[in-house]
């Protein structure tokens, strides 16, 4: 499966800050984190913060798989809106999920305060809108539901929206807080750097080929025939983790992204807030710290492992068609931004669970293994939630939030 393809922003504008060793001996550790992307890095951060002897291994280069194709939009909103999620899991649980994700933004700020690099972390307002008149009543219902449950939201009607944005909006929910963006590649390395300072052992180019869990510990073997013995293993390998389950835990899609060169002004884009429409698939926009515009969407569902979409190559005409659609949307939305010039184009695989929530916790067929599988558009905030919940679980505090994200739900 081709996880990412194209010319990716984060790995082009950032140099590789550190090269990590590969494992070349047998080792023992208390906790082993599998996966050197953003989820693994956040998990290692929380475990080492608690003084737990932790090792992290990545089969490729740290931060070079799905992480570098992330648009790194941070929002309390999840892929399924509050009304829709309430219909699936109940109102109280849905509100709890939104509140936990909202808290993740505060937790991200706390993390950044403890790192040497702010990783371009910036808090932003959020716009969730429709350009379809027939969807306005539903969106108004969603707004009232959020308002009643304490979220800081305003409803924009067509007239109000026209004064703030240069594209057609029939109605929108404007969230005054609950959004932000970050550079995920810099964040991954900053987290690992901090964790190494606390005692983390990190290895890249170290592929785990076999896992043997039992009731006392877990034995793992690498492709170079070295052995790792761990008290607990945390599997944070994203889409690769599907192999451990006998049922489908996530639907996979390929999403497409383009990034401009830095632009001089953002006429027609109120406060350069995060933007997302209510279509399926939806289109989303953010800016970067150096004033680039990122627009993504045009998702296509992945078929089987050997399908064209699963292994889409960079030169496939479909890629350029998707990039052209996104560029046209961008120029149509912001006709007064005159210096739009596309610099990066890439695509990557992402997943959505049936309820839009992550899979975090234990799996009864693999004793002494925890999973932190944070699929969906909120993967980074979900990773923060997962890191905290699994740390507490390891320390003997099974928090009730784990029921929301359990693997067998």
CA distance readout (Å), 150 to 30, 82, 142, 166, 388: 41, 13, 13, 29, 24
**Per-residue model confidence as pLDDT tens digits over 31-40:** 999 999 999 9
Q: How confident is the model at residue 324 (pLDDT cuts 50, 70, 90)?
A: very high
Among left, alpha and beta (phi > 0; psi -120 to 50; other), residue 57 is beta
CA distance readout (Å), 316 to 11, 174, 344: 22, 38, 16
- What are residue 294's DSSP bridge partners? 259, 286
Q: SS3 letters for 228-258? A: EEEEEEEECCHHHHHHHCCCCCCEEEEEEEE
Among left, alpha and beta (phi > 0; psi -120 to 50; other), residue 202 is beta
- Which of 10-24, 58-72, 301-315, 383-397 is the least confident region? 301-315
Give DSSP secondary structure letters for 383-403: HHHHHHHHHHHHTT---TTHH
pTM above threshold 0.85:
yes
For residue 305, pLDDT over 80 is answered with no
**Which comes out higher in pLDDT, residue 316 or 230?**
230
For residue 247, pLDDT over 90 is answered with no
- Which of 178-182, 296-300, 311-315, 371-375 is the least confident region? 311-315
Report the alpha-carbon distance of residue 6 to residue 267 in Å, rounded: 29
**Per-residue model confidence as pLDDT tens digits over 329-352:** 999 999 999 999 999 999 999 899
Beta-carbon contacts of 393 under 8 Å, excluding residues fewer than 6 positions away, are 361, 362, 370, 399, 402
**Per-residue model confidence as pLDDT tens digits over 55-94:** 999 999 999 999 999 999 999 999 999 999 999 999 999 9
For residue 272, pLDDT over 90 is answered with yes
CATH homologous superfamily of 18-70+185-248+356-404 equals: FAD/NAD(P)-binding domain (3.50.50.60)
């Amino acid at each position: 499966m081709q996880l990412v393809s194209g010319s990716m922003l984060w790995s082009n504008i950032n140099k590789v800050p550190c090269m990590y060793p590969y494992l070349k001996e047998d080792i023992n550790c208390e906790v082993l984190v599998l996966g050197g992307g953003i989820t693994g890095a956040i998990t290692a951060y929380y475990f080492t913060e608690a003084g737990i002897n932790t090792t992290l291994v990545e089969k490729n280069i740290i931060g070079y798989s799905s992480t570098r194709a992330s648009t790194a939009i941070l929002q309390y909103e999840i892929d399924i809106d509050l009304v829709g999620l309430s219909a699936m899991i109940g109102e109280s649980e849905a509100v709890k999920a939104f509140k936990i994700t909202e808290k993740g933004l505060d937790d991200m700020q706390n993390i950044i305060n403890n790192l040497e690099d702010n990783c371009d972390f910036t808090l932003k307002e959020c716009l969730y809108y429709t350009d379809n008149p027939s969807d306005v009543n539903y969106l108004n219902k969603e707004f009232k539901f959020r308002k009643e449950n304490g979220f800081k939201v305003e409803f924009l009607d067509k007239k109000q929206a026209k004064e703030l944005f240069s594209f057609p909006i029939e109605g929108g929910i404007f969230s005054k807080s609950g959004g932000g963006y970050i550079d995920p590649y810099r964040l991954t390395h900053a987290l690992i750097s901090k964790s190494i300072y606390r005692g983390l052992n990190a290895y890249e180019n170290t592929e785990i080929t076999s896992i043997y869990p039992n009731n006392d510990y877990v034995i793992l073997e690498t492709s170079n025939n070295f052995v790792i013995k761990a008290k607990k293993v945390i599997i944070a390998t994203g889409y690769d983790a599907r192999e451990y389950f006998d049922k489908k835990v996530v639907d996979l899609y390929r999403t497409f992204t383009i990034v401009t060169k830095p632009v001089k002004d953002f006429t027609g884009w109120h406060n350069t807030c995060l933007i997302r429409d209510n279509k399926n698939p939806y289109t989303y926009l953010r800016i970067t710290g150096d004033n680039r515009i990122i627009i993504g969407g045009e998702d296509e569902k992945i078929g089987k492992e050997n399908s064209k979409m699963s292994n889409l190559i960079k030169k496939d005409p479909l890629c350029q068609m998707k990039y052209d659609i996104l560029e046209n949307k961008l120029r149509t939305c912001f006709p007064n931004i005159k210096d739009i010039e596309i610099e990066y184009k890439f695509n990557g695989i992402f997943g959505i669970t049936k309820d839009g929530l992550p899979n975090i916790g234990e799996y009864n067929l693999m004793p002494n293994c925890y999973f932190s599988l944070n699929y969906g558009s909120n993967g980074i905030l979900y990773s923060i939630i997962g890191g905290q919940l699994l740390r507490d679980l390891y320390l003997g505090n099974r928090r009730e939030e784990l029921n929301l994200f359990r693997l067998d739900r």
